[in-house]
Amino acid sequence: MNRDRIRALLDQVKSGETEPEQALETLARLPFSDIGDARVDTHRALRAGIPEVVYAPGKTAEQIASIVRTLQDVGQDVLVTRTEADVAARVQGEIAGGEYETVGRTLWFGPADVATVGKGVIAVISAGTADLPVVTEAATVARCFGNEVDVLADVGVAGIHRLLAVHDQLRSARVLIVVAGMEGALPSVVGGIVDKPVIAVPTSVGYGAAFGGIAALLGMLTSCASNVTVVNIDNGFGAAYVATLINRL
Amino acid sequence: MNRDRIRALLDQVKSGETEPEQALETLARLPFSDIGDARVDTHRALRAGIPEVVYAPGKTAEQIASIVRTLQDVGQDVLVTRTEADVAARVQGEIAGGEYETVGRTLWFGPADVATVGKGVIAVISAGTADLPVVTEAATVARCFGNEVDVLADVGVAGIHRLLAVHDQLRSARVLIVVAGMEGALPSVVGGIVDKPVIAVPTSVGYGAAFGGIAALLGMLTSCASNVTVVNIDNGFGAAYVATLINRL
Amino acid sequence: MNRDRIRALLDQVKSGETEPEQALETLARLPFSDIGDARVDTHRALRAGIPEVVYAPGKTAEQIASIVRTLQDVGQDVLVTRTEADVAARVQGEIAGGEYETVGRTLWFGPADVATVGKGVIAVISAGTADLPVVTEAATVARCFGNEVDVLADVGVAGIHRLLAVHDQLRSARVLIVVAGMEGALPSVVGGIVDKPVIAVPTSVGYGAAFGGIAALLGMLTSCASNVTVVNIDNGFGAAYVATLINRL
Amino acid sequence: MNRDRIRALLDQVKSGETEPEQALETLARLPFSDIGDARVDTHRALRAGIPEVVYAPGKTAEQIASIVRTLQDVGQDVLVTRTEADVAARVQGEIAGGEYETVGRTLWFGPADVATVGKGVIAVISAGTADLPVVTEAATVARCFGNEVDVLADVGVAGIHRLLAVHDQLRSARVLIVVAGMEGALPSVVGGIVDKPVIAVPTSVGYGAAFGGIAALLGMLTSCASNVTVVNIDNGFGAAYVATLINRL
Amino acid sequence: MNRDRIRALLDQVKSGETEPEQALETLARLPFSDIGDARVDTHRALRAGIPEVVYAPGKTAEQIASIVRTLQDVGQDVLVTRTEADVAARVQGEIAGGEYETVGRTLWFGPADVATVGKGVIAVISAGTADLPVVTEAATVARCFGNEVDVLADVGVAGIHRLLAVHDQLRSARVLIVVAGMEGALPSVVGGIVDKPVIAVPTSVGYGAAFGGIAALLGMLTSCASNVTVVNIDNGFGAAYVATLINRL
Amino acid sequence: MNRDRIRALLDQVKSGETEPEQALETLARLPFSDIGDARVDTHRALRAGIPEVVYAPGKTAEQIASIVRTLQDVGQDVLVTRTEADVAARVQGEIAGGEYETVGRTLWFGPADVATVGKGVIAVISAGTADLPVVTEAATVARCFGNEVDVLADVGVAGIHRLLAVHDQLRSARVLIVVAGMEGALPSVVGGIVDKPVIAVPTSVGYGAAFGGIAALLGMLTSCASNVTVVNIDNGFGAAYVATLINRL
Amino acid sequence: MNRDRIRALLDQVKSGETEPEQALETLARLPFSDIGDARVDTHRALRAGIPEVVYAPGKTAEQIASIVRTLQDVGQDVLVTRTEADVAARVQGEIAGGEYETVGRTLWFGPADVATVGKGVIAVISAGTADLPVVTEAATVARCFGNEVDVLADVGVAGIHRLLAVHDQLRSARVLIVVAGMEGALPSVVGGIVDKPVIAVPTSVGYGAAFGGIAALLGMLTSCASNVTVVNIDNGFGAAYVATLINRL
Amino acid sequence: MNRDRIRALLDQVKSGETEPEQALETLARLPFSDIGDARVDTHRALRAGIPEVVYAPGKTAEQIASIVRTLQDVGQDVLVTRTEADVAARVQGEIAGGEYETVGRTLWFGPADVATVGKGVIAVISAGTADLPVVTEAATVARCFGNEVDVLADVGVAGIHRLLAVHDQLRSARVLIVVAGMEGALPSVVGGIVDKPVIAVPTSVGYGAAFGGIAALLGMLTSCASNVTVVNIDNGFGAAYVATLINRL
């Protein structure tokens, strides 16, 4: 309920330009009436130049295509997340110009070369190849949102020297996204090296007592590094979203 | 392992100024040798003007006083967190000038009026009076770390109009800390109103199926608002620490 | 053990119309002897004009058809819940007149236009498209049970203005069913707006720390709104059943 | 955000009676400005003749007394829940006329004989003496909220004949609250006997695998009786609150 | 380590009949050397006329057939449990005379008409059709082990009159096996009616908060009926095994 | 609802001896009207010579004394379980003749020398001294219920030879109660040695991953010995109750 | 960061043989630069003659083949773990000389007859056939790592005499790996017999309350035998790895 | 069941020196008859020069003193673990010569200077002061068991340079015990640095999502370092026991 728009509306009512009854309607529906019928992943208006995001699971290719078209009609770039390859192919069959990234499973309808808006570099760090889908989702989303991204894979805590080798890259990032499964110790170690905000993403990688990401999640929540916050298991998108907001500050 | 310091050291070895054996020693111990014996809450060097933090539980008043004194000797301000009233009194009996805040249980050895370093306002939002200890810890820590803080208590989701009444305050903050127990829904609602990073702090407030903060924790991790990250249950300090880092960007 | 029927029976014994031994038999088996062999979802006689309900999982199409036929023979309308499309098709192949609803997966053998018995409107509210199967099951069941139903989808807590836009509809309902996955915060917010009973249905929608509906379930059980009660995860049928009972009061 | 009040306000703006800026302020703060400073248990306006409720844990006797006084000043009856005996005594020392119920731990500031508003009887059923605090809280709250209450304790499922003995009382209630710890089976059995809404309250009574109420909670959520909804563990207040809303329909 | 056999062995050593070294060997391997290579479900010698039992999962049809043949060679009847239909068919293809029961998935190599050894009737009681596989396994195993079995399905707690109708059958059993999923309340109610041992079998039937049998398991462990003991989820075999031991006492 | 009594009643109705209305009343209240006001642990009539049992927790000494007196008045022996020493002393102060057992915390009002009714010996086996309270409760209850009891403590699985030393005692028992905390492995090993029913009692003894008895409980439920059933954590009473029923068969 | 290599490097800097800048690069990347691009299971250099290990899940046959080839090029033997048969076949199609073990699913590129380096025997003990994949993985890994291995399957705790029969073999091992599912009691019993380190491996074998290995895991962690340590569920590889390290001491 | 002793016994039977009946008795009771009545922590004979260990919780000072005296009588050194200060004082009041260590709460009856039997150094590593009780228990036990011990506290993962500073000490240990609470990441990092067995001890240190040691436990079980095994939460004794066995190999 944007205060300025409400004030303008009330001024119109005062001047008689708008009838109270009509103002009432506008008042109630204003904030999202211009978005159309789309159901975006983020559940709220992504203002200020961040593209709209569509969460694919549970939607048919037809539904996704319809949402994308509506958003493109109003001039929005659109990012579709967690899109299986066959669904992506069918959406691309209906709408030209989409770019599908197979590892992170994102489908992007926007400029090939997104203008950089973020003020610094977002580093995306992970330990193992198994975490790559989450790493890639985070990196792709961050790039589509206008950030410079530096991906540092394969730097697990059990080979601490690898981490030290990328020490300078870690410390030159403005925000860090650290992705880890199993015991999820990487954010603690990275958090101890840098003095920037670290967004930890537990992944469901691992077996047995990894319990589908619970071990990593608990490890990150109880991290002894104070600069670590946590998002949901496998939520590379969410990490990139918050990192983008921070990187624009 | 600061790259510049290593390069300098290697240059000294090259020039014969330093013996290899001695350089080796320096190399291994360099980064923390100048910190002294103190065991800080954050487990790492808090550089760049953030005061040192001591986590009180498990330490005697004597141990805390000793750490504070050591840090004061090297010119550091010190914040002691989770300090019970009797422990604080005993520390204050040994070291003059500490300020004890009874609700958030922090003990501050630093200027009464900390200079503002953060670029904007950190808003700390909560629903109920039971969450006040965590809210107050977060607010006090943020103030001691040089931020302007705006506390908005008593704005729970079941009285949604209260939230709308503080709409402008919410939207004018640069970073938001949202504290909630029970179902922990507040960060989702606040996250939908603002386009800034929201740090959610689940509290152990509640009974029965609240399970000491698990309900709130899970609710925050699965928030439908994309700008929400989460810290440990009752971790007001951690939220303020990350908010400080973000607010300095 | 209907008191009147027992009294009548005892009168018959007194008058000699019925032998004690025979009365004993009747007494023991009376309440469900007229229902036949059917195994209904609710596990008890659905008296007073509520149709019989058959829970499809674990039953073959033949078994379902047989139950439906038996119930139709005694004049009952029948609602089959959680019916997969292929099973529904085979049941419809055996018994004419069934109407299959594909989203909520209900199969209805009754009048196309059920007479309204409920005294007010049952509102069914949800946040996202992924919850639609549960929403639709609840709405369809409520309609087949003789209620006027108002479905309000896509009104999640992270876009609070959407909720306000349907404010009047929410407040004009006599009973509300609120369906939500992930953090399950919607019932708290809706419960704060209305002063009517809110039946919360957690759904298994979500990933990671949603834990198949546990996050939403705990959130709803610990809701800060006092007018919220909860049913099992994904139990749209149960919510509609209770809402029907309330709406007839 | 009452639609009528907004319309009136907009009319005033149109007529020039109110300035837009002032209307804006009113608009944002309207719904709860007349409630005052009180922090009520239910977190929202309890309109329509239901007394205000104050949740005692975490509040000092002074704070409680202050809230009670404020509410009494505006003509409200007040019910304080979960009040320990010593706290109650101190509140009563400051404010005359309160009635303390020791088993359910409620403190009531209102008429000794509350006028009956509810349309029928609310039955409160339980199995064992250990559940009495929750049973009594539910019964007392329901009475203070203007309902006729029928308490049926000691009717556990392992002595099924006791239940049959109160069969008529069960069936004559308009709403039923069933309180049970341990395996929590009572709501299923009661739910099978009546055709009215059953609100199940799991209690933390039991040991070992009762896990502080989890066994009862899960049992109630998975009840094979369709007319059962569930509230939080030990939440007698919440059950009475919802039962009151239903009983006024 | 049968005491008599050891004594006989020691006597042989004393008499010189057996060398110490050879006795030592015998001593160590005695108890199971005569059983052969078979890996039986019960992990121990099933003496005293109870047939051998083979747990099928994880074994190939060939392995099962080989074990059955070995056991038949030494004159044992064999019961194979949890056998999928295709595996059973292949075993029956190799060994004649097996009888496959499709619901409980047992494969029986023994007399069609097992002589009754148990002293009384074992009642197997359940609520719903979904529990039938476990009910049937329990009943079939009990019959193959020489017991008279009385199966009482479809007597759930939410239709309490059904239970009363079978009151006499319940009370005439010597041991009772009660099978239930969802909230698992049936053993409590049955346990309150009879004064014989009740063996409760939780099943994985149910959805949501049933958590694959956990709700039923916890409910049974915390049963308010003192004559109830519990076996593992879906363990119809184990219940029948113990019931057999009791029924032979 | 005893069939014979009902038949007699119906015969009386037929003969005009009893009015239908009066018969109806009798019918509903019959089975427990002669038990009085007592609230027994077992929640049902303990017929056939088993003493009444009162579960002490949550009852005052006065309430316990009142129940005991009532039961003694109708000629019942009474066993009070889980009685703290001070409560027991106060009950004994009011009623003469009680015997308090301090380890198992039972208070017995009955003959010092209970006549043996059970047909064989109940063995109670445990591993460690920490389990003694549960062991002693089970043994005392079994003795008060008229069984010969053989207690075998200190025979843990990690000293397997101790178990073998009591091999004969184990095998000569008619029913076995095996009590174990920590990993709860003892029932599996004992179950492999005997061919009698084994009732396993997990205890809350242990720390860390013992989780207050969960480790032992799960271990017993998944025992590879088929003759094992399980009761609730620390439920020595329940184990003795069931063992008594079995031992009377 | 091998101290000797660093010293050598510093000496080279001193002597002018190496430029500081170049030394800096070497310093940072040294420890793993000679391993190549391979991502090994153990995440760190497996020095001292232990072959490299590749964890197959999540890798394509092409990726595995590439890693194997790289490692073979530098003279390493390679063991691929958890390899499905079809993946193994494709890797073998690209690289000659691999040996696939079908039960433990390992693929070995090394000498058919590995030279024994370990000082004693590693015993691998298990109870049931279902645990064989984990047993076989452990045994194969231990053999490829140069140990003499003694596999003792089928010695479950419920048939305690089988264990005694292998008493000598148990006691002659230098390290023991004990594999068990279900209640996981075997390590406690074995641990009581031997005075050597016992590495316990819980398996996911079992159903119901086995909870995919949790019951076994908790049982092993709370073992009453002090010589037991535990690895992750189904982690035969890890157990063999540690046993190898111990066996080389 | 020592094979040699059995053989000797059988020889005696053969020679007529011992009667079969008497041999039988000896056979069954042999292995622990010479230990006396003591109940040791380890539940089995601690042969080969390791002192007896008594687990204090649940034992009175008198019971502990009695056990210690018995063991001293047969020439054993005794270590009492988890002894509260007041209990220790009372034991020391009865038996002279005990040494109480207040942090790790051990009470030692043995030589002040235990002869070193272990072949190398056992390193005990931890991150924070809160873990000191567990660290100290482990170190004291290891010293009493005849090992050289190197304690390295305060080397948490968030200050990775501290770890590198003790790199040489880590690598020179023969076995390592790594103690950590909260996220429990330290064993992974240490495990990556050394090529020796690492025994990880999770502690109950931490709050919120640490869940009393569960977070650390899961983190250690899922460690990406292959040389890590795990013991129970806070089990410093167990870690030292296994480390001792390994260090004697």
Q: Is residue F116 part of a domain?
A: no
C44/C22 same-domain check: no
Give the pLDDT of residue A168.
86
With beta carbons less than 8 A apart as the criterion, state whether D185 and D199 touch: no
Query: CA-CA distances (angstroms) from residue B216 to B232, D141, E106?
Result: 11, 27, 47
CB H1: neighbour CB atoms within 10 A?
17
Which among C125, C157, C223 is the top mutation candidate for probing chain B, defined by the most B β-carbons within 10 Å of its own β-carbon?
C157
D17/D46 same-domain check: no
Show residues of chain A in contact with G39, CB under 8 Å.
128-129, 154
Query: Which of C53, B131, C63, F229 minimizes the C-alpha distance to E220?
Result: F229
List of chain E residues with pLDDT < 50: 1-3, 28-48
With beta carbons less than 8 A apart as the criterion, state whether D171 and D216 touch: no
Name the strand (E) or helix (H) holding C164.
Answer: helix C160-165
DSSP E130: G
Q: Is residue D237 part of a domain?
A: yes
**pLDDT classification of A32: cutoffs 50, 70, 90:** very low
Show residues of chain H in contact with E25, CB under 8 Å.
none
Show residues of chain D in contact with A3, CB under 8 Å.
24
**D46 exposed, middle or buried (CB, 10 Å; 0-12, 13-18, 19+)?**
buried
H159/H230 same-domain check: yes
Q: Is residue H116 part of a domain?
A: no
Comparing E93-107, F189-203, H58-72, the range with the smallest average pLDDT is H58-72
Residue D123 has pLDDT above 60, yes or no: yes
> Using CB atoms, which chains have 3+ pairs under 8 A with H?
A, B, E, F, G
Q: How far apart are CA B158 and CA B153, in angstroms?
A: 14
State which of F22-31, F229-238, H129-138 shows the largest mean pLDDT. F229-238
Q: How far apart are CA B206 and CA B203, in angstroms?
A: 8
Q: How far apart are CA F101 and CA F110, in angstroms?
A: 13
With beta carbons less than 8 A apart as the criterion, state whether C233 and E207 touch: yes
Q: Do D58 and B129 touch (CB under 8 A)?
A: yes
Chain E touched by C26 (CB under 8 Å) = no
- Written as six digits, the tokens of E4 are 């008599």
With beta carbons less than 8 A apart as the criterion, state whether E66 and G202 touch: no
Query: Which of G175, G210, G214 minimizes the C-alpha distance to G196?
Result: G175
Q: How far apart are the first and last CA of chain G?
A: 23
Q: How far apart are CA B200 and CA C214, in angstroms?
A: 19
Give the pLDDT of residue A134.
97
Q: Do F163 and G158 touch (CB under 8 A)?
A: no
Name the strand (E) or helix (H) holding A165.
Answer: helix A160-165
Query: CA-CA distances (angstroms) from residue D97 to D71, D88, D110, D143?
Result: 14, 12, 8, 17
Full-prediction pTM beyond 0.90? no
Residue B218 has pLDDT above 70, yes or no: yes
Give the pLDDT of residue B105.
97
Comparing C55-69, C167-181, E12-26, H98-112, the range with the smallest average pLDDT is E12-26
Q: Which of F43, F78, F109 is the last residue of a domain?
A: F109
F125-181: pLDDT as tens digits: 998 778 999 999 999 999 999 999 999 987 878 777 778 778 889 999 999 999 999
F190/F236 same-domain check: yes
Helices (H), chain D: 3-14, 20-33, 61-73, 85-94, 132-144, 160-165, 167-172, 186-193, 214-221, 236-248
Q: Is residue C125 part of a domain?
A: yes
C71/C15 same-domain check: no
Give the pLDDT of residue E157.
81
Q: Is residue E116 part of a domain?
A: no
Give the pLDDT of residue D28.
45
The mean pLDDT of B108-113, rounded to a whole number, is 93
Q: Give the count of Cβ contacts less than 8 A between chain D and E.
A: 122
Chain G touched by H127 (CB under 8 Å) = no
> Using CB atoms, which chains have 3+ pairs under 8 A with G?
A, B, E, F, H
E168/E239 same-domain check: yes
Which among C162, C207, C211 is the top mutation candidate for probing chain A, defined by the most A β-carbons within 10 Å of its own β-carbon?
C207
Query: Which of G186, E242, H57 minimizes the C-alpha distance to F231?
Result: E242
Q: Which of C88, C109, C130 is the last residue of a domain?
A: C109
Amino acid identity, position A195: D
Q: Is residue G89 part of a domain?
A: yes
Q: Do A162 and G32 touch (CB under 8 A)?
A: yes
G94/G160 same-domain check: no
Looking from the CA of C120 toward its CB, the CA atoms found within 13 Å total 19
Query: Which of H217, H236, H237 minimizes the C-alpha distance to H228?
Result: H217
Helices (H), chain F: 3-14, 20-33, 61-73, 85-94, 132-144, 160-165, 167-172, 186-193, 214-221, 236-248
Comparing F94-103, H46-55, H98-107, the range with the smallest average pLDDT is H46-55
- Which among G41, G167, G231 is the nearest to H1, CB-wise? G167
Q: How far apart are CA B217 and CA B212, in angstroms?
A: 10
Q: Which residues in H55-84 are b (16+ Cβ under 10 Å) and which e? A: bbeebebeebbbbbebbbeeebbbbbbbbe
The mean pLDDT of C213-222, rounded to a whole number, is 95
A72/A191 same-domain check: no
**pLDDT classification of D22: cutoffs 50, 70, 90:** low
Amino acid identity, position D222: T
Domain extent, residue B39, equals 32-109
Give the pLDDT of residue G18.
77
Residue B87 has pLDDT above 80, yes or no: yes
Q: Do C224 and B157 touch (CB under 8 A)?
A: yes
Residue H138 has pLDDT above 90, yes or no: yes
3-state SS assignment for residue G83: coil
User: What does each of the 249 residues of chain G score in pLDDT, given as a tens digit?
Assistant: 334 555 666 677 777 777 766 665 555 443 333 333 333 333 333 444 688 899 999 888 998 999 899 888 877 899 999 999 999 999 999 999 899 999 999 999 999 999 999 999 999 999 877 899 999 999 999 999 999 999 998 787 877 777 877 888 999 999 999 999 998 999 999 999 899 999 999 999 899 999 999 999 999 999 999 999 999 999 999 999 999 999 999
Q: Give the count of Cβ contacts less than 8 A between chain F and G.
A: 120
Strands G175-180 and D198-202: unpaired
Comparing A36-50, B81-95, D64-78, F197-211, the range with the smallest average pLDDT is A36-50
Rounded CA Rg of chain D: 21
- Which among E43, E48, E229 is the nearest to F224, CB-wise? E43
The mean pLDDT of C228-244, rounded to a whole number, is 97
Show residues of chain G in contact with A161, CB under 8 Å.
1, 28, 30-32
Give the pLDDT of residue D160.
75
With beta carbons less than 8 A apart as the criterion, state whether G116 and G177 touch: no
**Minimum Cα–Cα distance from D128: chain F residue:** F39
Q: How far is H137 from chain A (nearest CA, A)?
A: 23
Q: Calculate the dihedral angle through the C-alpha atoms of C248, D3, D7, D12, rounding to the nearest 10 degrees.
A: 130
Q: How far apart are CA H234 and CA H138, in angstroms?
A: 10
C125/C244 same-domain check: yes
Give the pLDDT of residue A175.
98
- Written as six digits, the tokens of E163 are 């239970």
Give the position of tokens 């032992």.
F216
Q: How far apart are CA G125 and CA G139, in angstroms?
A: 10
pLDDT, chain D, mean: 85
E8/E72 same-domain check: no
Q: Which of C82, C109, C136 is the last residue of a domain?
A: C109
Q: How far apart are CA C95 and CA B223, in angstroms?
A: 45
* DSSP of C18-55: S-HHHHHHHHHHHHHHTTTT---TTSS---TTPPEEEE
A72-98: pLDDT as tens digits: 887 789 999 999 999 999 999 999 989
B239/B130 same-domain check: yes
Q: Is residue E115 part of a domain?
A: no
Query: Which of E40, E225, C182 minimizes the C-alpha distance to G154?
Result: E40
CB H243: neighbour CB atoms within 10 A?
30
3-state secondary structure C87-155: HHHHHHHHCCCCEEECCCCEEEECCCCCCCCCCCEEEEEECCHHHHHHHHHHHHHHHHCCCEEEEECCC
Strands A148-152 and A175-180: unpaired
**pLDDT classification of B130: cutoffs 50, 70, 90:** confident
The share of chain B scoring above pLDDT 70, in percent, equals: 84
User: Could you give the number of structural domains in chain A?
Assistant: 3
Give the pLDDT of residue G247.
97
Q: Is residue B114 part of a domain?
A: no
F156/F176 same-domain check: yes
Q: Do B233 and H127 touch (CB under 8 A)?
A: no
pLDDT, chain B, mean: 85
Q: Do B39 and H162 touch (CB under 8 A)?
A: no
